[in-house]
Structure 1
Protein backbone atom coordinates (compact mmCIF):
# COMPACT_ATOMS: atom_id res chain seq x y z
CA UNK A 1 0.00 0.00 0.00
CA UNK A 2 0.99 3.62 -0.51
CA UNK A 3 0.03 6.98 0.94
CA UNK A 4 -0.54 9.77 -1.54
CA UNK A 5 -1.52 13.38 -2.03
CA UNK A 6 -3.66 14.11 -5.07
CA UNK A 7 -5.45 17.01 -6.74
CA UNK A 8 -9.19 16.57 -7.16
CA UNK A 9 -9.53 19.84 -9.05
CA UNK A 10 -7.85 23.18 -9.67
CA UNK A 11 -9.25 25.46 -6.97
CA UNK A 12 -5.98 25.82 -5.08
CA UNK A 13 -4.27 23.54 -2.58
CA UNK A 14 -6.60 24.65 0.22
CA UNK A 15 -9.63 23.22 -1.59
CA UNK A 16 -8.38 20.69 -4.13
CA UNK A 17 -5.46 18.93 -2.42
CA UNK A 18 -6.53 15.65 -0.79
CA UNK A 19 -4.68 12.94 1.11
CA UNK A 20 -5.27 9.20 0.97
CA UNK A 21 -3.44 6.89 3.33
CA UNK A 22 -4.13 3.49 1.78
CA UNK A 23 -3.64 3.44 -1.98
CA UNK A 24 -3.27 0.05 -3.61
CA UNK A 25 0.06 -0.47 -5.37
CA UNK A 26 0.42 -3.06 -8.15
CA UNK A 27 2.57 -6.09 -7.45
CA UNK A 28 5.59 -6.83 -9.62
CA UNK A 29 3.49 -9.29 -11.62
CA UNK A 30 0.84 -6.66 -12.32
CA UNK A 31 3.16 -3.97 -13.69
CA UNK A 32 2.87 -3.00 -17.33
CA UNK A 33 5.74 -4.06 -19.57
CA UNK A 34 7.39 -0.62 -19.46
CA UNK A 35 6.44 0.38 -15.92
CA UNK A 36 8.64 0.77 -12.85
CA UNK A 37 7.54 0.66 -9.21
CA UNK A 38 9.48 3.20 -7.12
CA UNK A 39 9.60 3.75 -3.38
CA UNK A 40 9.91 7.52 -3.02
CA UNK A 41 12.49 8.79 -0.52
CA UNK A 42 12.11 12.52 -1.17
CA UNK A 43 10.25 15.03 -3.30
CA UNK A 44 10.59 18.75 -3.91
CA UNK A 45 8.07 21.42 -4.84
CA UNK A 46 8.31 24.02 -7.58
CA UNK A 47 6.19 27.09 -8.15
CA UNK A 48 4.54 25.21 -11.02
CA UNK A 49 2.75 23.04 -8.46
CA UNK A 50 0.96 26.12 -7.09
CA UNK A 51 0.10 27.29 -10.61
CA UNK A 52 -1.28 23.88 -11.59
CA UNK A 53 -3.36 23.67 -8.41
CA UNK A 54 -4.84 27.10 -9.11
CA UNK A 55 -5.67 26.33 -12.74
CA UNK A 56 -3.06 28.76 -14.02
CA UNK A 57 -1.28 29.12 -17.33
CA UNK A 58 -0.14 25.50 -17.51
CA UNK A 59 -3.63 24.33 -18.48
CA UNK A 60 -6.00 21.62 -17.21
CA UNK A 61 -5.04 18.50 -15.27
CA UNK A 62 -6.11 14.88 -15.53
CA UNK A 63 -8.29 14.44 -12.41
CA UNK A 64 -7.33 13.02 -9.99
CA UNK A 65 -3.58 13.45 -10.34
CA UNK A 66 -0.69 13.11 -7.90
CA UNK A 67 1.14 16.48 -7.90
CA UNK A 68 4.88 17.05 -8.10
CA UNK A 69 7.38 16.54 -10.91
CA UNK A 70 10.59 16.27 -8.87
CA UNK A 71 11.50 13.32 -6.68
CA UNK A 72 14.02 10.61 -5.90
CA UNK A 73 13.63 7.02 -4.81
CA UNK A 74 14.63 3.41 -5.21
CA UNK A 75 13.30 0.85 -7.70
CA UNK A 76 11.29 -1.96 -6.10
CA UNK A 77 10.06 -3.76 -9.24
CA UNK A 78 10.24 -3.47 -13.03
CA UNK A 79 8.05 -4.52 -15.93
CA UNK A 80 9.04 -7.26 -18.33
CA UNK A 81 10.30 -4.90 -21.06
CA UNK A 82 12.19 -2.42 -18.86
CA UNK A 83 15.84 -2.29 -19.94
CA UNK A 84 17.49 0.60 -18.13
CA UNK A 85 16.57 -0.10 -14.50
CA UNK A 86 16.90 -2.91 -12.00
CA UNK A 87 15.58 -3.50 -8.51
CA UNK A 88 17.42 -1.33 -5.94
CA UNK A 89 18.57 1.24 -8.52
CA UNK A 90 18.48 4.82 -7.23
CA UNK A 91 16.45 7.02 -9.57
CA UNK A 92 15.19 10.57 -10.03
CA UNK A 93 12.12 11.55 -11.98
CA UNK A 94 12.07 13.16 -15.42
CA UNK A 95 9.64 16.00 -16.13
CA UNK A 96 8.18 14.97 -19.52
CA UNK A 97 8.13 11.16 -19.93
CA UNK A 98 5.80 11.01 -22.93
CA UNK A 99 8.09 13.33 -24.87
CA UNK A 100 10.77 10.63 -24.86
CA UNK A 101 8.25 8.08 -26.13
CA UNK A 102 7.21 10.25 -29.06
CA UNK A 103 10.36 12.22 -29.92
CA UNK A 104 13.40 10.42 -28.51
CA UNK A 105 15.97 10.98 -25.79
CA UNK A 106 17.39 14.21 -27.21
CA UNK A 107 14.07 16.01 -27.72
CA UNK A 108 13.43 19.32 -25.96
CA UNK A 109 10.10 19.76 -24.18
CA UNK A 110 7.84 22.45 -25.59
CA UNK A 111 4.54 24.03 -24.62
CA UNK A 112 2.57 21.22 -26.28
CA UNK A 113 4.21 18.67 -23.97
CA UNK A 114 3.14 20.37 -20.73
CA UNK A 115 -0.25 18.68 -20.44
CA UNK A 116 1.35 15.23 -20.15
CA UNK A 117 4.06 16.12 -17.63
CA UNK A 118 4.41 14.62 -14.17
CA UNK A 119 2.02 16.22 -11.71
CA UNK A 120 -0.34 17.39 -14.43
CA UNK A 121 -1.23 14.69 -16.95
CA UNK A 122 0.79 11.88 -15.35
CA UNK A 123 0.88 11.02 -11.64
CA UNK A 124 3.80 12.73 -9.92
CA UNK A 125 5.99 12.38 -6.87
CA UNK A 126 3.95 13.28 -3.76
CA UNK A 127 3.35 9.67 -2.74
CA UNK A 128 5.25 7.06 -0.76
CA UNK A 129 5.26 4.56 -3.63
CA UNK A 130 4.30 4.94 -7.24
CA UNK A 131 4.29 3.35 -10.67
CA UNK A 132 6.08 5.39 -13.32
CA UNK A 133 6.67 4.80 -17.01
CA UNK A 134 10.30 3.89 -17.62
CA UNK A 135 10.74 7.14 -19.56
CA UNK A 136 9.86 9.12 -16.41
CA UNK A 137 13.06 8.04 -14.66
CA UNK A 138 16.81 8.51 -14.90
CA UNK A 139 19.57 7.16 -12.70
CA UNK A 140 20.31 9.32 -9.67
CA UNK A 141 23.82 10.79 -9.36
CA UNK A 142 25.88 8.71 -6.97
CA UNK A 143 27.31 11.85 -5.40
CA UNK A 144 23.93 13.17 -4.19
CA UNK A 145 21.72 12.14 -1.30
CA UNK A 146 17.96 11.84 -1.56
CA UNK A 147 17.08 15.47 -0.83
CA UNK A 148 19.42 17.21 -3.31
CA UNK A 149 18.72 14.57 -5.95
CA UNK A 150 15.01 15.34 -5.66
CA UNK A 151 15.56 18.96 -6.73
CA UNK A 152 17.22 18.24 -10.08
CA UNK A 153 14.53 17.57 -12.65
CA UNK A 154 12.64 20.84 -13.10
CA UNK A 155 14.70 23.66 -11.59
CA UNK A 156 18.22 22.56 -12.41
CA UNK A 157 17.55 21.32 -15.94
CA UNK A 158 15.80 24.63 -16.67
CA UNK A 159 18.85 26.49 -15.41
CA UNK A 160 21.20 24.21 -17.34
CA UNK A 161 19.31 24.63 -20.61
CA UNK A 162 19.20 28.40 -20.09
CA UNK A 163 22.98 28.53 -19.92
CA UNK A 164 24.11 25.67 -22.16
CA UNK A 165 21.12 24.69 -24.30
CA UNK A 166 22.05 26.65 -27.43
CA UNK A 167 25.13 25.47 -29.28
CA UNK A 168 27.63 28.26 -29.71
CA UNK A 169 25.92 30.43 -27.07
CA UNK A 170 26.96 28.54 -23.94
CA UNK A 171 27.93 30.39 -20.78
CA UNK A 172 31.60 30.36 -19.84
CA UNK A 173 34.54 32.63 -19.02
CA UNK A 174 33.91 36.09 -20.47
CA UNK A 175 30.13 35.65 -20.69
CA UNK A 176 27.84 38.05 -18.82
CA UNK A 177 24.63 36.57 -17.39
CA UNK A 178 21.66 38.44 -15.90
CA UNK A 179 19.35 36.62 -13.49
CA UNK A 180 16.18 37.82 -11.77
CA UNK A 181 15.53 37.47 -8.06
CA UNK A 182 16.18 34.62 -5.65
CA UNK A 183 13.81 31.88 -6.79
CA UNK A 184 14.90 28.32 -7.47
CA UNK A 185 15.76 28.68 -11.16
CA UNK A 186 17.62 31.94 -10.58
CA UNK A 187 19.72 30.51 -7.74
CA UNK A 188 20.52 27.39 -9.76
CA UNK A 189 21.48 29.54 -12.76
CA UNK A 190 23.68 31.72 -10.56
CA UNK A 191 25.59 28.76 -9.16
CA UNK A 192 26.07 27.07 -12.54
CA UNK A 193 27.12 30.27 -14.29
CA UNK A 194 29.58 31.20 -11.54
CA UNK A 195 31.01 27.68 -11.59
CA UNK A 196 31.97 27.98 -15.28
CA UNK A 197 33.52 31.41 -14.87
CA UNK A 198 30.75 33.65 -16.18
CA UNK A 199 30.09 37.08 -14.67
CA UNK A 200 26.65 37.13 -13.05
CA UNK A 201 24.52 40.18 -12.31
CA UNK A 202 21.43 39.56 -10.19
CA UNK A 203 18.36 41.72 -9.69
CA UNK A 204 16.81 41.70 -6.23
CA UNK A 205 14.57 43.73 -3.94
CA UNK A 206 16.49 44.07 -0.65
CA UNK A 207 20.00 44.64 0.64
CA UNK A 208 19.86 41.41 2.64
CA UNK A 209 19.09 39.37 -0.47
CA UNK A 210 21.79 41.23 -2.37
CA UNK A 211 24.34 40.19 0.24
CA UNK A 212 23.27 36.56 -0.02
CA UNK A 213 23.44 36.64 -3.81
CA UNK A 214 26.94 38.09 -3.65
CA UNK A 215 28.01 35.36 -1.24
CA UNK A 216 26.72 32.75 -3.71
CA UNK A 217 28.71 34.12 -6.63
CA UNK A 218 26.99 37.20 -8.06
CA UNK A 219 29.52 39.85 -9.11
CA UNK A 220 26.98 42.69 -9.06
CA UNK A 221 23.42 43.19 -7.84
CA UNK A 222 20.74 45.65 -8.95
CA UNK A 223 17.77 46.62 -6.77
CA UNK A 224 14.77 46.61 -9.08
CA UNK A 225 12.48 48.14 -6.45
CA UNK A 226 14.59 51.27 -6.16
CA UNK A 227 14.69 51.56 -9.96
CA UNK A 228 11.54 49.79 -11.20
CA UNK A 229 11.35 51.47 -14.59
CA UNK A 230 14.97 51.24 -15.65
CA UNK A 231 16.73 48.40 -13.84
CA UNK A 232 17.61 46.89 -17.22
CA UNK A 233 19.71 49.88 -18.23
CA UNK A 234 21.31 50.01 -14.79
CA UNK A 235 22.33 46.38 -15.19
CA UNK A 236 23.41 46.86 -18.81
CA UNK A 237 25.70 49.73 -17.76
CA UNK A 238 27.73 47.22 -15.73
CA UNK A 239 28.68 45.17 -18.81
CA UNK A 240 31.85 45.93 -20.83
CA UNK A 241 31.28 49.05 -22.96
CA UNK A 242 27.62 48.85 -21.84
CA UNK A 243 27.13 46.28 -24.59
CA UNK A 244 24.52 44.23 -22.75
CA UNK A 245 24.26 40.65 -21.53
CA UNK A 246 25.10 37.50 -23.43
CA UNK A 247 22.35 35.62 -21.57
CA UNK A 248 19.31 37.06 -19.77
CA UNK A 249 17.29 34.44 -17.87
CA UNK A 250 13.77 35.87 -17.54
CA UNK A 251 11.69 34.09 -14.91
CA UNK A 252 9.27 36.80 -13.81
CA UNK A 253 6.49 36.40 -16.37
CA UNK A 254 4.69 38.96 -18.48
CA UNK A 255 5.95 42.03 -16.61
CA UNK A 256 9.66 41.70 -17.38
CA UNK A 257 10.40 40.58 -20.97
CA UNK A 258 10.60 44.14 -22.32
CA UNK A 259 13.29 45.13 -19.83
CA UNK A 260 15.01 41.76 -20.19
CA UNK A 261 15.37 42.36 -23.91
CA UNK A 262 16.59 45.89 -23.27
CA UNK A 263 19.36 44.42 -21.11
CA UNK A 264 20.49 41.90 -23.74
CA UNK A 265 23.30 42.54 -26.20
CA UNK A 266 22.98 42.20 -29.95
CA UNK A 267 22.91 38.46 -30.70
CA UNK A 268 22.33 37.71 -27.03
CA UNK A 269 19.85 35.09 -25.90
CA UNK A 270 16.94 35.33 -23.49
CA UNK A 271 15.57 32.06 -22.10
CA UNK A 272 12.20 32.80 -20.57
CA UNK A 273 9.35 31.42 -18.51
CA UNK A 274 6.54 33.66 -19.69
CA UNK A 275 3.06 33.08 -21.05
CA UNK A 276 3.26 35.69 -23.77
CA UNK A 277 5.40 38.47 -25.12
CA UNK A 278 4.52 42.04 -25.99
CA UNK A 279 7.74 43.13 -27.66
CA UNK A 280 8.41 46.42 -29.43
CA UNK A 281 10.07 46.19 -32.83
CA UNK A 282 13.13 48.16 -31.71
CA UNK A 283 13.75 45.59 -28.98
CA UNK A 284 13.34 42.70 -31.39
CA UNK A 285 16.20 44.16 -33.42
CA UNK A 286 18.47 43.95 -30.39
CA UNK A 287 17.88 40.42 -29.14
CA UNK A 288 15.82 37.33 -29.79
CA UNK A 289 13.96 35.55 -26.97
CA UNK A 290 14.42 31.82 -26.77
CA UNK A 291 11.77 29.79 -24.94
CA UNK A 292 12.87 27.08 -22.54
Structure 2
Protein backbone atom coordinates (compact mmCIF):
# COMPACT_ATOMS: atom_id res chain seq x y z
CA UNK A 1 0.00 0.00 0.00
CA UNK A 2 2.88 2.37 0.74
CA UNK A 3 4.25 1.77 -2.77
CA UNK A 4 0.79 2.43 -4.26
CA UNK A 5 0.59 5.82 -2.56
CA UNK A 6 4.14 6.58 -3.62
CA UNK A 7 3.38 6.04 -7.30
CA UNK A 8 0.16 8.04 -7.07
CA UNK A 9 2.13 10.95 -5.62
CA UNK A 10 4.65 10.57 -8.42
CA UNK A 11 1.81 10.58 -10.95
CA UNK A 12 0.49 13.83 -9.49
CA UNK A 13 3.99 15.29 -9.75
CA UNK A 14 4.63 14.28 -13.35
CA UNK A 15 1.17 15.40 -14.45
CA UNK A 16 1.89 18.86 -13.10
CA UNK A 17 5.35 18.92 -14.68
CA UNK A 18 4.01 17.73 -18.05
CA UNK A 19 1.33 20.42 -18.04
CA UNK A 20 3.96 23.07 -17.32
CA UNK A 21 6.24 21.76 -20.07
CA UNK A 22 3.31 21.52 -22.47
CA UNK A 23 2.42 25.15 -21.91
CA UNK A 24 6.05 26.12 -22.51
CA UNK A 25 6.09 24.15 -25.78
CA UNK A 26 2.72 25.55 -26.83
CA UNK A 27 4.22 29.03 -26.69
CA UNK A 28 6.52 28.03 -29.55
CA UNK A 29 3.88 26.16 -31.56
CA UNK A 30 3.19 27.74 -34.93
CA UNK A 31 5.91 30.35 -34.30
CA UNK A 32 8.65 28.80 -36.49
CA UNK A 33 11.05 27.99 -33.63
CA UNK A 34 14.72 27.49 -34.39
CA UNK A 35 15.47 23.92 -35.47
CA UNK A 36 18.63 21.84 -35.40
CA UNK A 37 19.28 18.36 -36.77
CA UNK A 38 20.83 15.45 -34.92
CA UNK A 39 21.59 11.79 -35.71
CA UNK A 40 23.33 12.76 -38.95
CA UNK A 41 20.46 14.97 -40.04
CA UNK A 42 17.73 12.38 -39.50
CA UNK A 43 16.02 13.80 -36.41
CA UNK A 44 14.95 17.41 -35.78
CA UNK A 45 15.09 19.15 -32.42
CA UNK A 46 13.68 22.62 -31.84
CA UNK A 47 14.04 25.42 -29.35
CA UNK A 48 10.68 24.28 -27.98
CA UNK A 49 12.09 20.82 -27.16
CA UNK A 50 14.93 22.35 -25.18
CA UNK A 51 12.71 24.82 -23.34
CA UNK A 52 10.17 22.13 -22.40
CA UNK A 53 12.99 19.82 -21.30
CA UNK A 54 14.47 22.53 -19.10
CA UNK A 55 11.12 22.95 -17.34
CA UNK A 56 10.75 19.21 -16.78
CA UNK A 57 14.29 18.93 -15.50
CA UNK A 58 13.93 21.80 -13.04
CA UNK A 59 10.55 20.67 -11.66
CA UNK A 60 11.21 16.93 -11.45
CA UNK A 61 14.80 16.85 -10.23
CA UNK A 62 14.01 19.41 -7.53
CA UNK A 63 11.14 17.25 -6.28
CA UNK A 64 12.93 13.87 -6.52
CA UNK A 65 16.72 14.49 -6.47
CA UNK A 66 17.41 10.80 -5.80
CA UNK A 67 15.69 9.63 -9.02
CA UNK A 68 17.73 8.95 -12.14
CA UNK A 69 17.16 10.91 -15.33
CA UNK A 70 16.78 9.83 -18.96
CA UNK A 71 15.65 12.37 -21.55
CA UNK A 72 15.89 12.53 -25.31
CA UNK A 73 17.33 16.03 -25.02
CA UNK A 74 20.07 15.40 -22.45
CA UNK A 75 23.32 13.48 -22.77
CA UNK A 76 22.87 10.06 -21.23
CA UNK A 77 24.10 9.95 -17.65
CA UNK A 78 24.79 6.30 -16.90
CA UNK A 79 24.39 7.01 -13.20
CA UNK A 80 20.73 6.24 -13.95
CA UNK A 81 21.64 2.55 -14.19
CA UNK A 82 22.36 2.42 -10.46
CA UNK A 83 19.09 4.15 -9.58
CA UNK A 84 16.05 1.99 -8.74
CA UNK A 85 13.70 4.75 -9.91
CA UNK A 86 14.18 6.95 -12.97
CA UNK A 87 12.33 9.72 -14.77
CA UNK A 88 12.06 8.89 -18.50
CA UNK A 89 10.98 11.90 -20.53
CA UNK A 90 10.47 13.17 -24.04
CA UNK A 91 9.71 16.90 -23.85
CA UNK A 92 8.03 16.83 -27.28
CA UNK A 93 7.24 13.46 -28.79
CA UNK A 94 6.48 14.14 -32.44
CA UNK A 95 8.86 17.06 -33.00
CA UNK A 96 8.72 16.69 -36.77
CA UNK A 97 4.94 17.06 -36.71
CA UNK A 98 5.20 19.91 -34.19
CA UNK A 99 7.46 21.82 -36.58
CA UNK A 100 5.07 21.18 -39.48
CA UNK A 101 2.03 22.39 -37.52
CA UNK A 102 0.45 19.02 -36.67
CA UNK A 103 -1.42 19.11 -33.37
CA UNK A 104 -0.94 15.50 -32.24
CA UNK A 105 2.38 15.94 -30.43
CA UNK A 106 2.71 15.40 -26.72
CA UNK A 107 4.88 15.72 -23.66
CA UNK A 108 5.75 12.23 -22.40
CA UNK A 109 6.85 11.64 -18.81
CA UNK A 110 7.19 8.31 -17.00
CA UNK A 111 8.46 7.09 -13.67
CA UNK A 112 10.26 3.78 -14.16
CA UNK A 113 10.99 1.57 -11.14
CA UNK A 114 13.29 -1.44 -11.47
CA UNK A 115 12.79 -1.55 -15.23
CA UNK A 116 9.01 -1.11 -15.36
CA UNK A 117 6.90 2.05 -15.70
CA UNK A 118 4.83 2.76 -12.58
CA UNK A 119 3.43 6.20 -13.46
CA UNK A 120 3.00 7.84 -16.85
CA UNK A 121 1.47 10.87 -18.48
CA UNK A 122 1.07 12.07 -22.04
CA UNK A 123 -0.04 15.69 -22.37
CA UNK A 124 -1.10 16.96 -25.79
CA UNK A 125 -1.73 20.67 -25.16
CA UNK A 126 -2.63 21.60 -28.75
CA UNK A 127 -5.48 19.07 -28.52
CA UNK A 128 -6.39 19.65 -24.89
CA UNK A 129 -5.84 15.97 -24.14
CA UNK A 130 -4.15 14.34 -21.15
CA UNK A 131 -3.63 10.58 -20.81
CA UNK A 132 -2.30 9.19 -17.55
CA UNK A 133 -2.08 6.12 -15.33
CA UNK A 134 -0.37 4.68 -12.29
CA UNK A 135 0.52 1.02 -12.03
CA UNK A 136 -2.33 0.32 -9.60
CA UNK A 137 -5.08 2.35 -11.28
CA UNK A 138 -7.07 2.81 -14.47
CA UNK A 139 -5.90 4.51 -17.65
CA UNK A 140 -7.55 7.89 -17.93
CA UNK A 141 -8.05 10.49 -20.63
CA UNK A 142 -9.13 13.88 -19.34
CA UNK A 143 -10.41 12.17 -16.20
CA UNK A 144 -12.43 9.42 -17.91
CA UNK A 145 -11.45 5.75 -17.97
CA UNK A 146 -10.31 4.45 -21.36
CA UNK A 147 -9.86 0.95 -22.75
CA UNK A 148 -8.61 -0.72 -25.89
CA UNK A 149 -11.08 -1.61 -28.63
CA UNK A 150 -12.71 -5.02 -28.68
CA UNK A 151 -11.85 -6.85 -31.87
CA UNK A 152 -13.40 -9.94 -33.42
CA UNK A 153 -11.49 -12.16 -35.89
CA UNK A 154 -13.51 -11.10 -38.95
CA UNK A 155 -13.39 -7.37 -38.19
CA UNK A 156 -11.21 -5.09 -40.29
CA UNK A 157 -8.12 -4.30 -38.26
CA UNK A 158 -7.39 -0.57 -38.14
CA UNK A 159 -3.68 -0.25 -37.51
CA UNK A 160 -0.93 2.35 -37.66
CA UNK A 161 2.00 0.82 -39.51
CA UNK A 162 4.31 1.53 -42.39
CA UNK A 163 3.61 -0.04 -45.77
CA UNK A 164 6.98 -1.76 -45.54
CA UNK A 165 6.00 -3.56 -42.36
CA UNK A 166 2.50 -4.47 -43.53
CA UNK A 167 3.79 -5.82 -46.84
CA UNK A 168 5.65 -8.56 -44.96
CA UNK A 169 2.33 -10.09 -43.92
CA UNK A 170 0.48 -12.75 -45.93
CA UNK A 171 -1.64 -11.33 -48.80
CA UNK A 172 -4.90 -12.73 -47.39
CA UNK A 173 -4.21 -11.18 -44.00
CA UNK A 174 -3.43 -7.80 -45.54
CA UNK A 175 -6.99 -7.71 -46.93
CA UNK A 176 -8.23 -7.52 -43.34
CA UNK A 177 -6.04 -4.52 -42.53
CA UNK A 178 -6.84 -0.84 -42.87
CA UNK A 179 -3.85 1.44 -42.39
CA UNK A 180 -4.55 4.75 -40.66
CA UNK A 181 -2.93 8.04 -41.57
CA UNK A 182 0.63 8.38 -40.27
CA UNK A 183 0.86 9.74 -36.72
CA UNK A 184 4.24 11.48 -36.18
CA UNK A 185 4.24 10.95 -32.41
CA UNK A 186 4.77 7.33 -31.44
CA UNK A 187 3.58 7.99 -27.89
CA UNK A 188 0.36 9.56 -29.17
CA UNK A 189 -0.12 6.63 -31.55
CA UNK A 190 0.02 4.24 -28.61
CA UNK A 191 -2.46 6.46 -26.75
CA UNK A 192 -4.82 6.08 -29.71
CA UNK A 193 -4.63 2.32 -29.23
CA UNK A 194 -5.24 2.75 -25.50
CA UNK A 195 -8.43 4.76 -26.01
CA UNK A 196 -9.76 2.47 -28.76
CA UNK A 197 -9.50 4.82 -31.72
CA UNK A 198 -7.31 2.32 -33.53
CA UNK A 199 -6.88 -1.40 -32.94
CA UNK A 200 -3.11 -1.62 -32.91
CA UNK A 201 0.21 -0.40 -34.18
CA UNK A 202 3.51 -1.82 -35.35
CA UNK A 203 6.63 -0.05 -34.14
CA UNK A 204 9.74 -0.17 -36.30
CA UNK A 205 13.15 -0.95 -34.85
CA UNK A 206 15.10 1.65 -32.88
CA UNK A 207 12.36 3.34 -30.88
CA UNK A 208 13.65 4.57 -27.52
CA UNK A 209 12.65 4.35 -23.88
CA UNK A 210 11.50 7.97 -23.89
CA UNK A 211 9.13 7.32 -26.83
CA UNK A 212 7.50 4.40 -25.08
CA UNK A 213 7.60 4.22 -21.29
CA UNK A 214 4.65 6.46 -20.39
CA UNK A 215 2.47 5.26 -23.27
CA UNK A 216 3.33 1.62 -22.48
CA UNK A 217 1.89 1.93 -18.97
CA UNK A 218 -1.20 3.81 -20.14
CA UNK A 219 -1.85 1.14 -22.77
CA UNK A 220 -1.31 -1.65 -20.23
CA UNK A 221 -3.76 -0.15 -17.75
CA UNK A 222 -6.26 0.28 -20.62
CA UNK A 223 -6.21 -3.48 -21.17
CA UNK A 224 -3.63 -3.67 -23.94
CA UNK A 225 0.05 -4.34 -24.19
CA UNK A 226 3.23 -3.36 -26.00
CA UNK A 227 5.40 -6.38 -26.68
CA UNK A 228 8.46 -7.64 -28.47
CA UNK A 229 8.34 -10.31 -31.18
CA UNK A 230 8.47 -13.07 -28.56
CA UNK A 231 5.46 -11.59 -26.76
CA UNK A 232 7.41 -10.25 -23.78
CA UNK A 233 6.85 -6.82 -22.30
CA UNK A 234 9.60 -4.23 -22.45
CA UNK A 235 12.27 -3.59 -19.85
CA UNK A 236 13.35 0.03 -19.40
CA UNK A 237 16.41 1.81 -18.06
CA UNK A 238 18.88 -0.69 -19.48
CA UNK A 239 22.29 0.29 -20.78
CA UNK A 240 20.81 0.42 -24.28
CA UNK A 241 17.60 2.42 -24.55
CA UNK A 242 16.72 1.26 -28.07
CA UNK A 243 14.20 -1.47 -28.83
CA UNK A 244 13.55 -3.99 -31.59
CA UNK A 245 10.33 -4.29 -33.63
CA UNK A 246 7.30 -3.96 -31.34
CA UNK A 247 3.59 -4.75 -31.47
CA UNK A 248 0.80 -2.97 -29.60
CA UNK A 249 -2.91 -3.64 -29.15
CA UNK A 250 -5.45 -5.60 -27.20
CA UNK A 251 -4.88 -9.29 -26.50
CA UNK A 252 -6.55 -10.65 -29.65
CA UNK A 253 -4.86 -8.08 -31.87
CA UNK A 254 -1.45 -8.84 -30.41
CA UNK A 255 -1.93 -12.57 -31.00
CA UNK A 256 -3.04 -11.94 -34.58
CA UNK A 257 -0.10 -9.65 -35.37
CA UNK A 258 2.45 -11.94 -33.75
CA UNK A 259 1.17 -14.95 -35.72
CA UNK A 260 1.78 -13.00 -38.91
CA UNK A 261 5.19 -11.83 -37.78
CA UNK A 262 6.24 -15.41 -37.06
CA UNK A 263 4.84 -16.77 -40.32
CA UNK A 264 6.96 -14.43 -42.46
Q: TM-score over 0.5 for the alignment? A: no
TM bracket, shorter-chain basis: under 0.3
Does 1 or 2 have the higher relative contact order (CA < 8 Å, sep 6+)? 2
TM-score, normalised by the number of residues in structure 1 = 0.22
TM-score by length of 2: 0.23
Which has the larger Rg? 1
